[in-house]
Structure 1
Amino acid sequence: MAAETAPNGQKRAPKPMSALKRVYLIAYNALNAVLWSVVLGRTVATLYTRGLDAGPASVYPAVGEWTKWTQTLAALEIVHSLLGVVRAPLLTTLMQVSSRFALVWGAVHFYPSVAASPAYSSMLLAWSTTEVIRYLFFALSLSGIEPAVLQWFRYSGFYVLYPVGISSELWELFLASTAAREEGDMAKFVTGVVVMATYLPGAPKLYGHMMRQRRKVLGGGAKKTQ
């Protein structure tokens, strides 16, 4: 938390986090780490047991509903930002959460057949790996534990995971928009096109945000706890 400025111009020490808030955030992050671990584990297990040919088509039946409700819990991220529970930028949080909602409650919800594409599996692998690392890091950090290896993955994993996730999301949106057009549902088709268009300004902005976080934490800046 940034230090406040006193009337004499000197910076005050940051206000310590209350015990109740700390316990809540540890529980919240730990729960999400477990939920996303299930997504990751089921996705990997399904692809392994069913093989790369039949596996992708089996991932949605195995973990689709679990993923949808696990991702829905992320709506609390917006509430946390609005209420100042965490210091995450509201706009960045809205972009991250809303884009995923467009996938789980939009594209895949209305057109489950698009989840048979390998892009759905790669999307879940990118999402779940990212979130297991992120939530586990926050839960441990709030508990006073910051493993250097986990911290490095938290602020460096996006180099691989972000491009995989973004490209997979766009392909799923494209497939859903194509299905909507073929059905003559122009409302869903236009919505899909608009959502895809938001990735043009949104993806670089989010990538830049992650780069700044990495420089701040791993480049010698102050550490963040949330």
Structure 2
Amino acid sequence: MASSAPAAPKRQPSVLNKAYLILYNFASAVAWSVVLGRTVSLLSQSGPQAVYPGVGEWTKWTQTVAGIEIVHSLLGVVRAPLLTTLAQVASRLLLVWPVVNVFPQLASQPWYSSMLIAWSVTEVIRYSFFALSISGFQPRPLTWLRYTTFYILYPIGISSECALIWQAIKPAGDLDPLFPWALYGVLAIYVPGSFMLFTHMMSQRRKIMRNLKAQSTKAQ
């Protein structure tokens, strides 16, 4: 699922905590920029079958490192809701490890490329937004992108994820008869899970856009 949990500080952070969050978000934005650049380049030059060999390992570990955001939320380092963070991180780890890593042949399908594009565009915007916000800057265009592009990127990412999970069901049965049932279970919770993430972002957008409008009114 596409990322949705904000990474702004829960309370006024210490200098060390603030520096850590800026560094983490900046490094994450760079890492996902690599995913985006490589995916688009490989896709345009050689087609979807070249994407996984060229960027699959980088994506897998970039997303795995992002699992630390669960710890951030759990410890209150950021104000991201724990359940929302857990849902989006767990769903992505499922895609990069038990699905694509086990069945790399699925990554030759266009769904893998569209998933990476949706993920990486979302993350470049998200991490850039938080790195700048924590640093004391909040460019309005970037704020608008952060709280608007999910209307397009979430459906692309979620549908791509579901397609890959669905395609993994048949080969999963060759490994373990229970594996397909686990994947069916994952698909069953995607609808409520996706609804939770999407409505959370819509709620965040209403709040942020209302604040931006109020700031514009005061500035006039």
In the alignment of these two chains, the number of paired residues is 205
For 2:204, which of 191, 196, 213 is the aligned residue? 213
Structure 1 CA distance for aligned equivalents of residues 67 and 50 of structure 2: 27
Q: Residue 8 of structure 1 aligns with which residue?
A: none
Structure 2 CA distance for aligned equivalents of residues 89 and 65 of structure 1: 29
- C-alpha distance 56-83 of structure 1, shift in aligned 2 (>3 A): same
Q: Does 1:101 align with 2:61?
A: no
Structure 2 CA distance for aligned equivalents of residues 211 and 121 of structure 1: 26
- C-alpha distance 15-85 of structure 1, shift in aligned 2 (>3 A): closer
Mapping of 1:96-175 within 5 angstroms?
96-175=88-167
Q: Residue 37 of structure 2 aligns with which residue?
A: 41
Structure 1 CA distance for aligned equivalents of residues 130 and 78 of structure 2: 11
Structure 1 CA distance for aligned equivalents of residues 196 and 106 of structure 2: 27
- Aligned with 2:147: secondary structure? helix
Deviation at 1:48, TM superposition (A): 1.5
For 2:72, which of 80, 84, 101 is the aligned residue? 80
Give the TM-score normalised by the residue count of structure 1.
0.87
The one-letter code of the counterpart of 1:193 is Y
- Structure with the greater alpha carbon radius of gyration: 1
Deviation at 1:184, TM superposition (A): 5.7
Q: Percent identity?
A: 57
Deviation at 1:47, TM superposition (A): 1.1
Q: Residue 16 of structure 1 aligns with which residue?
A: 12
The one-letter code of the counterpart of 1:208 is T
4+ residue segments displaced more than 2 Å: 219-223
The one-letter code of the counterpart of 2:75 is L
Q: Deviations over 1:108-153 (max 9, x none)?
A: 0111111111000000000000000000000011111111101000
Structure 2 CA distance for aligned equivalents of residues 16 and 103 of structure 1: 35
The one-letter code of the counterpart of 2:160 is S
Q: Residue 59 of structure 1 aligns with which residue?
A: 51
- C-alpha distance 104-184 of structure 1, shift in aligned 2 (>3 A): closer
Deviation at 1:178, TM superposition (A): 2.0
For 2:83, which of 91, 104, 109 is the aligned residue? 91
For structure 1, the 5+ residue unaligned runs are 1-13
Q: Residue 177 of structure 2 aligns with which residue?
A: 186
Structure 2 CA distance for aligned equivalents of residues 131 and 103 of structure 1: 16
Deviation at 1:15, TM superposition (A): 5.1
